Structure 1
Amino acid sequence: MKNNSLMYFKTPENRAAESLLILLGLFCVGFFALGGVVQIVVMMAFGASFQDIVQSGGDYSKLPNAWVSMILGQGLGSFVGFVGTAWLYWRMIEKKQWSDLNFRPLPKIRIFLMVILIEGVFMGFNGWLQELNQNFVFPESMKGLEAVLKSMEDQLAKATKFFTTFTSFWQFLLAFIVIAVIAGIGEELVFRGLLMRKLLLGTKNIHVAIWLAGFIFAVIHLQFYGILPRMMLGVLFGYLYYWTGNIWVPIAAHIFNNGLAIVIMYLYNLGIVKTDLESIDHVPMPIVLFSLVATIGLLFLFRNYMESQSAESKSIESQA
């Protein structure tokens, strides 16, 4: 079934509604259930007892070999939850090849370089969205909810700080693989490769599919005070997937986004970079405006370039 100019379905697929329910079920079992079990098993393998884990109250930083057990547990849990969900659904249920996630061939290296440029320019505007999100104040009637969300935010901030406080190269490499590579591949397979395409199949509107997938992508992370910038990142990845028609483009963009943060944190821990990413709480408005205008301009040029490449390819195919 043809659908929009650059994304289309090569062969019949399961209906959108039932596919979304199956995906949700597989993800909940894989990420929240099996992923949690994997995390516990890894921590026990590195010397923690089950009683220690229970008594920690969720603060695992004091457990034996805490850093390596937590980062490995998170990596394996994410692999099971995201890559496992995508594999079970796409390969076992739909019985399709990974290549069927692509609507167009792998683009040339210059496309990936353009994507990196767009992401770099976008950071200023997205940093401002982060600032807005973190300063959001609930009405008096919802202060209870605000307290709960802030408590969750504080716990996640502590975990992030613990994960990214390292000075050895092997720790940096392991963190990069887990936080950038595994997360980048797994999350894009689920949220763009599967969820977005099923939303497109159901709504017949690519923009609705992209924005809904971006919203769900942000909500799944259970971090209210980061939901706005994370949603916009998801939307950006969605349009990159749509315009290029190849799942490796948003995967590369996701890996770059997470990986750059890990690199900067590593350099900060070594004292090479003087500014900690977590301490940046204000983006000057001139930078925000430049970032927004430049991002819109670059996306406009990128879309037109990809559409011209698609038209050129079709012209060559018709002449062959």
Structure 2
Amino acid sequence: MEKKQNFTIKFLLLISLLMAGVLLVAGISALLIKYSGISPEDIDIQSLVLHNPELAKWILFCQHLVLFIIVPLVFLWIFYKRGMVEELNTGSFKFKDVIHFFVLLMLVYPLMGVLTFWLSLLDLPEWMNLMDKSQEETLMTLLKMENGYDFMFNLFLLAFVPGIGEELLFRGVLQREVFKKTQKIHLSIMISSLFFAALHFQALGFTSKLCISLVLGYAYYFSGNILVPMILHMVNNGSATFAVFYSKGDIFDTQHQDIHFSWSQVVVVVLFLMLCILYYFYLEQHYKHKSNG
């Protein structure tokens, strides 16, 4: 009973901290918008991105800083005080752990591509299509990079900051607390990954975000060190940012090519799904042997 109450208290406190964080971000955003001279009709995020992308980037930075870094750190400090670093890291950092799960991430990419394409073939509700269109337009505007400074700033904003913050919240807090409650690692990783995918508010991107999050979740579980999923997250986001910068935005045009369903796509899914499963079993045996040794 005490364990159940403790989990409930933690969950309610986390929700309360996130709500307080949302209010704080809203207040900061309102102040930034007010003193930037933007008219009230441009206050929605999409219009703000179009009219003042630099300001939108700073608001996005504040959002990530407060919700994904400060909130998890406050949560961990409340319950674990000075032991929160040890709580996050049950294993020492080894760069080869990053390599192990980077390989798994590479095996997952083809699956993500085909599954996302299949999802695009479905007749989704209009509100989902509008949400995806809005997200895509916003992302395209944020990713416009004219020079090296724009690239480095986007790398910091879209790779470095989310890599730290989102891993702190979804792996360091949510996954770890659910696992401590249930003692079921697969369930814990799936729950945190579902929240991770859902909170990106992308219907077509749901499966890809879910797949990436599953890899990050297992990377944290097997390595026991939060730096491993953080680095993988940064590499994933950073490589996408670099691809857009290197292609000068042309990469977005390839997403709208007229492609149809083919059985070769099924072969790709089956093949890479089998490879992912086999590689997962290899990792499981590798880390089991390491812990026994």
Q: Same fold (TM over 0.5)?
A: yes
Cα RMSD, aligned residues only: 2.6
2:113·2:208 contact (CA, 8 Å) conserved in 1? yes
Kindly tell me: are residues 84 and 277 of structure 1, through their superposed partners in 2, closer, same or farther at Cα, counting changes over 3 Å? farther
Does residue 239 (structure 1) correspond to residue 218 (structure 2)? The answer is: yes
2:45·2:56 contact (CA, 8 Å) conserved in 1? no
Where does structure 2 lack aligned partners over 5 or more consecutive residues?
none
How many angstroms does 1:163 deviate by?
A: 0.8
Kindly tell me: are residues 15 and 276 of structure 1, through their superposed partners in 2, closer, same or farther at Cα, counting changes over 3 Å? farther
Deviations 1:262-296 (A, max 9, x none): 1111111077xx67564478695244344323222
Residue in 2 aligned with 1:38? 28
Deviations 1:141-199 (A, max 9, x none): xxxxx222222221111101101121311111111111111111111111111101111
Return the match for 1:292 from 273, 284, 288: 273
Alignment of 1:43-82 (within 5 A): 43-45=33-35, 47-49=36-38, 51=40, 53-54=42-43, 58-63=46-51, 66-82=52-68
1:43·1:73 contact (CA, 8 Å) conserved in 2? no
How many angstroms does 1:50 deviate by?
A: 5.3
Residue in 2 aligned with 1:255? 234
Equivalent position SS for 1:224: coil
Kindly tell me: are residues 215 and 270 of structure 1, through their superposed partners in 2, closer, same or farther at Cα, counting changes over 3 Å? closer
Does residue 128 (structure 1) correspond to residue 114 (structure 2)? The answer is: yes
Residue in 1 aligned with 2:89? 102
Where does structure 1 lack aligned partners over 5 or more consecutive residues?
1-11, 139-145, 313-320
1:40·1:73 contact (CA, 8 Å) conserved in 2? no
Kindly tell me: are residues 40 and 290 of structure 1, through their superposed partners in 2, closer, same or farther at Cα, counting changes over 3 Å? farther
Please give the alpha-carbon distance, in whole angstroms, between the structure 2 residues aligned to 1:170 and 1:188. Answer: 26
Residue in 2 aligned with 1:151? 130
Kindly tell me: are residues 93 and 115 of structure 1, through their superposed partners in 2, closer, same or farther at Cα, counting changes over 3 Å? same
Please give the alpha-carbon distance, in whole angstroms, between the structure 2 residues aligned to 1:226 and 1:270. Answer: 19
Kindly tell me: are residues 276 and 300 of structure 1, through their superposed partners in 2, closer, same or farther at Cα, counting changes over 3 Å? farther
Give the TM-score, by structure 2 length. 0.87
Please give the alpha-carbon distance, in whole angstroms, between the structure 2 residues aligned to 1:110 and 1:281. Answer: 40
Equivalent position SS for 1:235: helix
Equivalent position SS for 2:205: helix
In the alignment of these two chains, the number of paired residues is 286
Residue in 2 aligned with 1:268? 247
1:34·1:81 contact (CA, 8 Å) conserved in 2? no
Please give the alpha-carbon distance, in whole angstroms, between the structure 1 residues aligned to 2:257 and 2:27. Answer: 35
Return the match for 2:102 from 100, 108, 116: 116
Kindly tell me: are residues 280 and 121 of structure 1, through their superposed partners in 2, closer, same or farther at Cα, counting changes over 3 Å? farther
Please give the alpha-carbon distance, in whole angstroms, between the structure 2 residues aligned to 1:87 and 1:137. Answer: 41
Q: Which amino acid aligns with 2:119?
A: N
Give the TM-score, by structure 1 length. 0.80
